[in-house]
Structure 1
Amino acid sequence: MSRTARVAAALAAAALVLTACGGGGGSDPAADAGPPRPGGTLLFAVSSDQGCADPQQVGSNDSIYSLRQIVDSLTDQDPQSGAITPWLATKWSSNADATAWTFTLRPGATFSDGTPVDANAVKANFDRVPTIGARGTLPKGYLAGYQGTTVTSPTEFTVRFAQPNVQFLQGTSTHSLGLLAPSSVAKTDDERCQGVVGSGPFVLESYTKDQSTVLTKRAGYNWGSSLFTHPGEAYLDRAEFRVVPESGVRTGSLQSGEIDAVASVGPQDEAPLSGAGIGLPSRANPGLPFGISFNLSTALGKDAAVREAVSLGINRPEVVSAVYTSQTKPATGPLASTTPSYADQSAQYGFDAARAGAVLDAAGWKAGPDGIRAKGGTKLTIPVTFAQNISTTKPALELLQQQLRGVGIDVQLQEKQISDVAQIQQSGQFTALWGNLTRADPDILRATYWSGGANYYRFPPGPLDALLTGQAAATDPAKRTQIAGQAQQLIAAQHLTVPVVELTTTLGVAPSTHDLAFDASSRIQLHDTWKSE
């Protein structure tokens, strides 16, 4: 690897922290069940479905869990060190300013339709990404400034950018840039949402919106990530992801042995699941914490006093203790604490109802007879749009609603389907959105808040732009961390977004299921997963 590639990997390695509890499988040690064995079906219950079966067009964990298994990436990222490691690419290098990245592919990999995973296939994927619609926010962000891919041989190609793009290397390890067969790339966005062809260890057998995603083992698979613990095919024959919105039903099905694993474990589930011998592997998600992001083109979004008062009026520790699992932490910055180049901004995020009231008083928002503030005859009512894609979302928002009413802010909750959120973001028809975004790189800030990008939150051009683009261009790790820290400080000081809680992924895993591993983004990897009964 070149110096730029090495420093990018070193940056991630220095900053990424793994927080895990209970290992990567069930509560019984795998050694007690003997060596890993092939065969069996994993039944996994999730709480929601994003309504699309294309890894390049999903951003919700519940959908990523299954779709990650059908695509390989050029690189992988070690969840413990953060280092970028080989997968489909055996080596890579960049020019001095990280505007061009050259990769060498391993030979012999194929998509499940038989076509080769070659340089032309990579080019087809990258050329198509900029034209994906609203659902393709993540891959488009990783390819910002993309100028094209030059193929020099079946196994070698160079990706070029208009400006330095250090973050691209980590982007190649994500599901969002997982490679699809050219036949899938050529389909329309909506056609791809019905199912795509990848080169991963599993093949998509069927997808039924809001019901299930069924995967089968890819026969002959032999080009796995360098981080996989065994070569060759996956152990499992099948994996079925069932959509079960009710938390109690998921928990009961796991306890009864009807299913093998569940996502979105809530605090009320921890004790009964542990008591039943269920493993609770847990890992904090890097990236943007769950919080409220305003549409800064709206009247309330533009009002700095309103944004500050919302932040001051939220008691984050109370939200965490009341709603989330015991491993969860309050947000302490625009980035989650497990993100490379995270800078602690906790001084900006304390609970201070009196100060929130004073800020609103000074801005002309006066308390009315019902306790809700108003200015110029308009009540301080903030519609917050959300999707119930994990079980903790609505309870957390209902508690926030109560807390903010205490400082005179009327929060109105507007629940939408997770499949509709991307279109709502793109349209700008919202005042504030509740959500998070997972990525193990500080460039998630640029992808989300840069006024020159997708800019779904309508950030106006300003000093933040230079910081966000500057960190993406900084090839020196220390310099990049410094610039990213300045960006976080500015976002926090101006309350441009209101982070509340760090997402911590806690799974429930039956004792007979082993090595259900987290990747660097706290999603799951099933290649090495196996069942002992």
Structure 2
Amino acid sequence: MAAQLDRRRFLGLGAGALGAALLAACSGGKGPGGRTAGGATGPTGSPVRGGTLTFSDTEAVSTWQPQKLGTYSSGNVSFHTNVFLLYFDPYQKKLQPWVAESWSKNDENTKFSFRIRKGITFIDGTQLTPEIVAKNYELYGRGDQRLRVPVHPQVSRGFDHVEVDGDTVTVVLSKPNQQFLIDTTRLNSPILGAKTLGLDLEEAGLPQNSVGAGPFVFESQVPNQSAVLVRRPGYRWAPASSPNQGEAYLDRIVWKVLPEIGLRTGALTSRQVDVARGIQPADESVIKAAGYQLLLYRPPLGTSNYAALRVENEFTKDPLVRRALVLGVDRDGLTRDALTDSYPPPISILNVDNPNAIDLSAEFKYDPGKARDLLEQAGWRQGADGVRAKDGKQLHLTVPQSAQQVALGPAWEYIAQQWRKELGIVLDVRNDPSFAATANTDVTVPIVVSRTSIISLGQSFGGPGNTALLGAPPELVALYRRELEAKDDAEFKAVQAEQQRALHQGSYVIAYFEEAQTFGASPDVHVTFQTQTYPDFYNAWKRG
């Protein structure tokens, strides 16, 4: 396998030559560890030890500092160097021991106690102790102004202090947080060594300064291009439910940045990479025809792909306009004409595999006639050019895209054409990373897109400073409070059902397709997935 992707060679291929090259690259195999969408499948049987797995991702990672991990790609490269208090098993769909061998909480969800496992060491040889766990969570809960380290957005909710009693660490909150146990499993909640905890924000963000205790160790990087992780000798403290309880099977992971969507399939089928994240819908059939695995994984605790409609924006603050936008999306047509069956119409804002999802699809069924009526009621009249206007201003909206989800481009181009033709609305689809970044806090941007794999609906839509709505409707604020105060999982599920109804009935969101991370993989690779949809490189292996 070539050590470095030759972008020029792929860019030099014409469309016909590239398609022929991809279709000509075929190989066999069977039985993937994840979910497959057809085509070849990966090897089964006893895992094979050794080898290098090359993984292509969509964008560079700017920092490894936990509170600043801002993109999906950061999890693909940093997750495997770390350990966490608890682990959420995506297949059993329940919490499992990891650094904490047992845990408990009070009924009020304000005290969470963890008995810390003995024998875990960081990569610098220091011991992972209850005191180090406490220091991590103090930093998460309080931040450090001197080091310019911000608070952890989830752990800091109601954080008061941490207590250590022998081998037990107790996190004490000043107000309830029912989701605290899940929050310990997040990508941004690793247990790091003392060296990293003493560094300022920039220094802690350098991968060589990230002292973790995971199954892989950072070896080297070419900034903004690639990173190399190597197997950690002696690792033997995997999550309780992990099939592998010893060292990782793979010797090495080579993580590469390949932002050019059209080149990922070529890189895979020419054997320059073993696994490629972000296979565009148009290439799915090519992947399968070439004998490669097309792996789909839906977040078991996450959302569908959705657009949030800003409640203080001049256009979308009107509930009639928001409702028109929701009803003006033909989700069946979107899947059929712009995407593939990998991205079916959603049933709710929560993803179909989320156990708390309820089927509300009837409430946002495509109805362009009703949408037009609502826009008329709101005072938006069509002009001679077919575009709606009010008080001399056209109904011209913008939405940012993200390279993190390859289906967004074709999806929003389809929606833009549909809204222009059926509703008289102009939608500007902005594929600009800098615009997408500023849109998070810019109320003049009426629509933002998102999806997430561990979700508090309350924090996303009713919490202070949320970037989805840039506002906090009272009914969503009240539901957020109830979400945090839920006594158990059953009560939390009931609250999330009410939250889903409130979000859809208030037309605060447009759910438009079921979320799936789509990977192409060599037929020689066995790979499963983590809760937050990262490939599980610890349990991955390659056929020799």
Q: Choose the corresponding residue for 1:169, options 181, 185, 201.
A: 181
In the other structure, the counterpart of 1:73 is 84
* 1:94 shift after superposition: 0.5
The amino acid across from 1:140 in the alignment is: P
Q: Does 1:198 align with 2:212?
A: yes
In the other structure, the counterpart of 1:147 is 160
Cα distance change of structure 1 residues 185 and 449 upon mapping to structure 2, 3 Å threshold:
farther
Contact 1:151–1:158 (8 Å) recurs in 2? yes
| 1:426-437 equivalences in 2 (<5 Å) | 426=441, 430-437=445-452
* 1:388 shift after superposition: 2.0
The amino acid across from 2:359 in the alignment is: D
TM-score of the superposition, structure 1-length normalised?
A: 0.88
Contact 1:141–1:453 (8 Å) recurs in 2? no
* Cα distance in structure 1, aligned partners of 2:332 and 2:34: 21
Cα distance change of structure 1 residues 126 and 452 upon mapping to structure 2, 3 Å threshold:
same
In the other structure, the counterpart of 2:20 is none
Q: Choose the corresponding residue for 1:336, options 320, 342, 351.
A: 351
In the other structure, the counterpart of 1:16 is none
Gaps of 5+ in 2: 1-32
* Cα distance in structure 1, aligned partners of 2:465 and 2:37: 38
Aligned with 1:176: secondary structure? Answer: coil
Q: Choose the corresponding residue for 1:124, options 135, 151, 164.
A: 135
The amino acid across from 1:257 in the alignment is: R
* 1:361 shift after superposition: 0.3
Q: Choose the corresponding residue for 2:250, options 227, 236, 248.
A: 236
The amino acid across from 1:30 in the alignment is: T
Q: Choose the corresponding residue for 2:420, options 405, 414, 428.
A: 405
Cα distance change of structure 1 residues 28 and 344 upon mapping to structure 2, 3 Å threshold:
closer
The amino acid across from 1:435 in the alignment is: S
Q: Does 1:414 align with 2:426?
A: no
The amino acid across from 1:531 in the alignment is: K
% same residue? 28
The farther-off stretch of 361-370 and 339-348 is 339-348
| 1:304-319 equivalences in 2 (<5 Å) | 304-319=319-334
* 1:219 shift after superposition: 2.0
Q: Deviations over 1:180-225 (max 9, x none)?
A: 2232233333333332221111112234443123211122211111
The farther-off stretch of 99-108 and 383-392 is 383-392
Cα distance change of structure 1 residues 266 and 283 upon mapping to structure 2, 3 Å threshold:
same
Contact 1:142–1:167 (8 Å) recurs in 2? no
* 1:26 shift after superposition: 7.0
Aligned with 2:121: secondary structure? Answer: coil
Higher CA-based Rg: 2
The farther-off stretch of 363-372 and 327-336 is 327-336
* Cα distance in structure 1, aligned partners of 2:514 and 2:418: 19
* Cα distance in structure 1, aligned partners of 2:316 and 2:177: 30
Cα distance change of structure 1 residues 116 and 300 upon mapping to structure 2, 3 Å threshold:
farther
Q: Choose the corresponding residue for 1:224, options 238, 245, 248.
A: 238
* Cα distance in structure 2, aligned partners of 1:211 and 1:40: 21
* 1:59 shift after superposition: 4.4
In the other structure, the counterpart of 1:278 is 292
The amino acid across from 1:372 in the alignment is: V
Aligned with 1:43: secondary structure? Answer: strand
Q: Does 1:355 align with 2:367?
A: no
* Cα distance in structure 2, aligned partners of 1:263 and 1:248: 12
In the other structure, the counterpart of 2:104 is 93
In the other structure, the counterpart of 1:185 is 197
Q: Does 1:29 align with 2:43?
A: yes
Q: Choose the corresponding residue for 2:537, options 510, 526, 531.
A: 526
In the other structure, the counterpart of 1:482 is 494
- Please give the root-mean-square deviation of Cα atoms over the aligned residues, in Å: 2.6
Aligned with 1:329: secondary structure? Answer: coil
In the other structure, the counterpart of 2:229 is 215
TM-score of the superposition, structure 2-length normalised?
A: 0.86
Gaps of 5+ in 1: 1-18
* Cα distance in structure 2, aligned partners of 1:362 and 1:115: 67
Aligned with 2:347: secondary structure? Answer: coil
In the other structure, the counterpart of 2:461 is 449
Cα distance change of structure 1 residues 67 and 325 upon mapping to structure 2, 3 Å threshold:
farther
Aligned with 1:274: secondary structure? Answer: helix
Cα distance change of structure 1 residues 369 and 318 upon mapping to structure 2, 3 Å threshold:
same
Q: Does 1:103 align with 2:117?
A: no
Contact 1:127–1:148 (8 Å) recurs in 2? yes
* Cα distance in structure 2, aligned partners of 1:228 and 1:353: 49
* Cα distance in structure 2, aligned partners of 1:297 and 1:188: 36
| 1:242-253 equivalences in 2 (<5 Å) | 242-253=256-267
